[in-house]
Chains A and B, each alone.
Chain A
Amino acid sequence: MKLKRGVPLIDQHDRQGFWGGKFGGSFIPETLKKPVEDLTNEFKRLRNNKEFLKKRDYYFKNYIGSPTSFIKLENLSNHLGGAQIWAKVVSEANGGAHKIYNATVHALICKAMGKKYIVGDTGAGYAGKMLSMAAKKFGLKCKIFMGAKDIKRQKPNCDAMRKNGAEIVPVYSGSQTLVDAVSECMRYWVSNCDNTHMCVGSTVGPNIFVKICGWSTAQISRELRTQLKEEFKKIPNKIKLINCVGGGSSAYGFWSEFIDFDKKQIELIGVEAGGPKKSKLHAAPLSRNAKVGILHGAASYVCQNNEGQINDTESISAGLDYPGVSPIHCFLKDTKRARYTYATDEDALNAHVMVTKFEKLNPSLEPSHAFAEAIKIAPKLSKDTIIIVNSCGDAKKDRDILRERLGKH
């Protein structure tokens, strides 16, 4: 298994849609073959269409507010000693997280395909909130599928979705979290694919959805590359890009421009959700050696039992609480280009407390997992090492959880 240079990772799959010959593909019911094929052709056309690219760039700049800032976390770095810690504050994007990139692109595609309805899944509620925003912006009717458990724990985002005019469809099956929301959303699409466009909220699902999402979030690393050159005159020699990984959309977006670099120069570190400290449940298929399986139309490392039933997962962070992971991250793991580890709920909470204490930054529980790893390794590293954390979400949505766990806020 080998990575190619000079080709975007999202395009390094074979004709059947597999990365490295075994991750990804399109394991879909017959009914979805045609809509997936139509979407594949449309995306292929649009991504080479100058007009469409102009439109995308216009909305990225004027609607999403890119570029998001790249800042040094001076106090945190001084406190920890060792490496410099920087943050790419993607949570500044309109809506408060990276999910807006994918949502905007999907809404534009939906419009281009002449469909009036758009549906999507959500875990932490960001993917849903952003899709509802984009739907409102572009005049589309929107339905969001969300696990009943997540609706309870991410209320602020649910309020936002409703305010944007989207219908939230609660999902009561299975563990009532993201995994069930994605299943239900796909089922809805099976029944309504003739007039409805589906947005998958991360770099997961059938091959084409991985590609569209990765193509959208890649904006993050395009900005970062420019910002690095502005800040350091050239790309520094020792960089570590740390990102949380649930489905893996923000991590891919954060890394895509840097995958061709030598890993000695730019190390890519993905941090999964380890779950509560003493729990056996987790949502860390890459770092805790899950087996390859098929979930939601793609082959990837999946938390599952010997029989192929998908495991329940548990994480304080609804956005990372997913038993599968993007096939492109499986590919990055097996080619050893990226390193994957996990942080527990407690690690993430502690990191959140520390970052908010020292910095004017309020990372949500998802990027707090990435900060936990940064805090852990920074003291052991040299001063010329640049750690950059993608602060990809804002903690406003975590208000209730933080109050409960930390007794304040």
Chain B
Amino acid sequence: MSSLLKKAFINAKKENRPALLTYTVAGDNTKKKSLEILKSISNYADICELGFPHNTPIADGGQIQTSAYRAIKNGIKINDIFSIAKNFKKSKKNTPIILMGYYNMIFQYNENKFLDKCKKSKVDGLIVVDLPYPENKSFASRCKKNGVNFIQLVSPTTSQIRLKKIIKDSHDMVYYISMLSTTGGKLKVSPKKILERYNKIKNQDKSKNVVIGFGITEKTIKSLKKADGLVVGSAICKEISKSIERRQNAVTNVTNIVKRLRNKIQ
């Protein structure tokens, strides 16, 4: 059986465009609000990443940090995150959802219990920022057994030998980090260069869906539209912060951004 993730990429390809992936932080700024945002943006996004916020993130830039601290301050718990995912899936059963976060939270929750919850909440995939290959091998294979895609990350510093091994062990989707940066950095590498590297990864195994993330905004998204998928995170989190600051409706504002992003890659 083909995974929902795979299907999402196939559907986008049919329309001759990359899949659009969004990232928001669970519980930002409240449980209810983040669910509303998720439901609304999924009208334009193909795959939704939902971050589980950690207070010591070592790879996130300012925007996502702000969102994460805000969510934690408002009392978000791991079980709430699963209930957001579950509720989302009730109304959007065909939109894949990926949880993304740091390993300590999975470790404290217990790996098996976490996976069990993922399954029950119909979570489609998992990205663990600080559990690299090959340390993630055993957990990744357990994810697969439970029908959860473990998404491997690849970066500009990944060596050729590592790349081969990572791709071989990856599931349906691979995440390429566009540049040396935390999330939300300014795109400091030319799109041409990024796509060159992207093609190198793609050439390892054409059946894997490779998405590009980090530094993607309304300004840069069009230049990378040859990829299988593109992830936008910080730009969305920034919009949530702005909306809160201006006492505007975050759901509408964020949805508008995602709509515009989608139009740019149409």
- Could you list which residues of chain A lie within 8 angstroms of chain B, going by C-beta atoms? 16, 25-35, 173-174, 179-180, 183, 186-187, 190-194, 291, 293-297, 302, 304, 306-310
Q: Is the CB of B135 within 8 A of A27?
A: yes
Given known A309-B54, A310-B55, contact A294–B180 (CB-CB < 8 A): no
B154 at the interface (CB under 8 A from A): yes
Q: Could you tell me the distance between the alpha carbons of A30 and B154 in the complex, rounded to whole angstroms?
A: 6
Which chain A residue has the least Cβ–Cβ distance from B106?
A: A308
Which chain B residue has the least Cβ–Cβ distance from A192?
A: B180
Contact with A along B39-68 (1 / 0, CB 8 A): 000000000000000111111110001000
Closest Cβ–Cβ distance, residue A300 to chain B (whole Å): 11
B155 at the interface (CB under 8 A from A): yes
Q: Which residues in B have their C-beta under 8 angstroms from that of A30?
A: 132-133, 153-155, 157-158, 177
By Cβ-Cβ distance, the 9 closest A-B pairs, closest first, are A308-B108, A34-B157, A308-B105, A31-B155, A294-B104, A308-B104, A30-B153, A29-B59, A27-B130
Q: Which residues in A have their C-beta under 8 angstroms from that of B180?
A: 31, 190-194
Q: Which residues in A have their C-beta under 8 angstroms from that of B61?
A: 187
Given known A27-B135, A34-B159, A304-B104, contact A190–B109 (CB-CB < 8 A): no
Closest Cβ–Cβ distance, residue B37 to chain A (whole Å): 22
Q: Which residues in B have their C-beta under 8 angstroms from that of A193?
A: 157, 180
Additional 9 contacts, C-beta under 8 A, given A26-B135, A294-B130, A309-B55 = A27-B130, A30-B133, A31-B177, A31-B180, A174-B56, A187-B58, A187-B61, A294-B103, A307-B105
Q: Could you tell me the distance between the alpha carbons of A186 and B54 in the complex, rounded to whole angstroms?
A: 15
Q: Is the CB of A183 within 8 A of B131?
A: no
Q: Could you tell me the distance between the alpha carbons of A187 and B72 in the complex, rounded to whole angstroms?
A: 20
Closest Cβ–Cβ distance, residue B194 to chain A (whole Å): 14
Candidate in B77, B107, B108 with the most chain A CB atoms within 10 angstroms = B108
B164 at the interface (CB under 8 A from A): no
Given known A187-B59, A190-B181, contact A293–B153 (CB-CB < 8 A): no
B182 at the interface (CB under 8 A from A): yes
Q: Is the CB of B58 within 8 A of A29?
A: yes
Q: Which residues in A have their C-beta under 8 angstroms from that of B105?
A: 307-309
Band of interface residues on B: 35 or more
Q: Is the CB of B157 within 8 A of A33?
A: yes
Q: Could you tell me the distance between the alpha carbons of A180 and B185 in the complex, rounded to whole angstroms?
A: 19
Q: Could you tell me the distance between the alpha carbons of A296 and B57 in the complex, rounded to whole angstroms?
A: 9
Q: Could you tell me the distance between the alpha carbons of A182 and B65 in the complex, rounded to whole angstroms?
A: 15
Q: Which residues in A have their C-beta under 8 angstroms from that of B130?
A: 27-29, 294, 297
Q: Which residues in A have their C-beta under 8 angstroms from that of B181?
A: 190-191
Given known A190-B58, A294-B103, A310-B55, contact A29–B153 (CB-CB < 8 A): yes
Q: Which residues in A have their C-beta under 8 angstroms from that of B57?
A: 183
Closest Cβ–Cβ distance, residue A24 to chain B (whole Å): 12
Q: Is the CB of A191 within 8 A of B182?
A: yes
Q: Which residues in A have their C-beta under 8 angstroms from that of B109?
A: 307-308
Which chain A residue has the least Cβ–Cβ distance from B176?
A: A30
Q: Which residues in A have their C-beta under 8 angstroms from that of B102?
A: 294, 308
Number of A-B contacts (CB under 8 A): 112
23 contacts between A and B (CB under 8 A): A25-B135, A27-B130, A27-B132, A29-B59, A30-B153, A30-B155, A32-B157, A33-B132, A34-B157, A180-B56, A183-B57, A190-B59, A191-B180, A291-B108, A297-B58, A304-B104, A306-B108, A307-B78, A308-B102, A308-B106, A308-B107, A308-B108, A310-B55
- Could you list which residues of chain B lie within 8 angstroms of chain A, going by C-beta atoms? 54-61, 65, 69, 72, 77-78, 102-109, 129-133, 135, 153-159, 162, 177, 180-182, 185
Q: Is the CB of A307 within 8 A of B77?
A: yes
Given known A187-B182, A307-B78, A308-B108, contact A35–B157 (CB-CB < 8 A): yes
Q: Which residues in B have their C-beta under 8 angstroms from that of A187?
A: 58-61, 182
Given known A28-B130, A308-B107, A308-B108, contact A183–B58 (CB-CB < 8 A): yes
Which chain B residue has the least Cβ–Cβ distance from A187?
A: B182
Closest Cβ–Cβ distance, residue B109 to chain A (whole Å): 7
Closest Cβ–Cβ distance, residue B177 to chain A (whole Å): 6
Q: Could you tell me the distance between the alpha carbons of A190 and B133 in the complex, rounded to whole angstroms?
A: 17
Closest Cβ–Cβ distance, residue A394 to chain B (whole Å): 30
Q: Is the CB of B69 within 8 A of A173?
A: yes
Q: Could you tell me the distance between the alpha carbons of A190 and B59 in the complex, rounded to whole angstroms?
A: 7
Q: Is the CB of B72 within 8 A of A31?
A: no
Q: Is the CB of B69 within 8 A of A186?
A: no
Q: Which residues in A have their C-beta under 8 angstroms from that of B72?
A: 309
Which chain A residue has the least Cβ–Cβ distance from B154?
A: A30
Q: Could you tell me the distance between the alpha carbons of A192 and B181 in the complex, rounded to whole angstroms?
A: 7
Q: Is the CB of B129 within 8 A of A29?
A: yes
Q: Is the CB of A293 within 8 A of B132?
A: no
Q: Could you tell me the distance between the alpha carbons of A16 and B131 in the complex, rounded to whole angstroms?
A: 12
Given known A28-B132, A173-B65, A310-B56, contact A293–B108 (CB-CB < 8 A): yes
Q: Is the CB of A27 within 8 A of B103?
A: yes
B131 is contacted by which of A27, A173, A309 (Cβ under 8 Å)?
A27
Q: Could you tell me the distance between the alpha carbons of A307 and B52 in the complex, rounded to whole angstroms?
A: 11
Which chain A residue has the least Cβ–Cβ distance from B152?
A: A30
A186 is contacted by which of B58, B103, B157, B159 (Cβ under 8 Å)?
B58
Q: Which residues in B have their C-beta under 8 angstroms from that of A179?
A: 56
Q: Which residues in B have their C-beta under 8 angstroms from that of A26?
A: 132, 135
Q: Could you tell me the distance between the alpha carbons of A307 and B131 in the complex, rounded to whole angstroms?
A: 18
Closest Cβ–Cβ distance, residue B132 to chain A (whole Å): 5
Q: Which residues in B have their C-beta under 8 angstroms from that of A306?
A: 108
Q: Which residues in B have their C-beta under 8 angstroms from that of A27?
A: 103, 130-132, 135
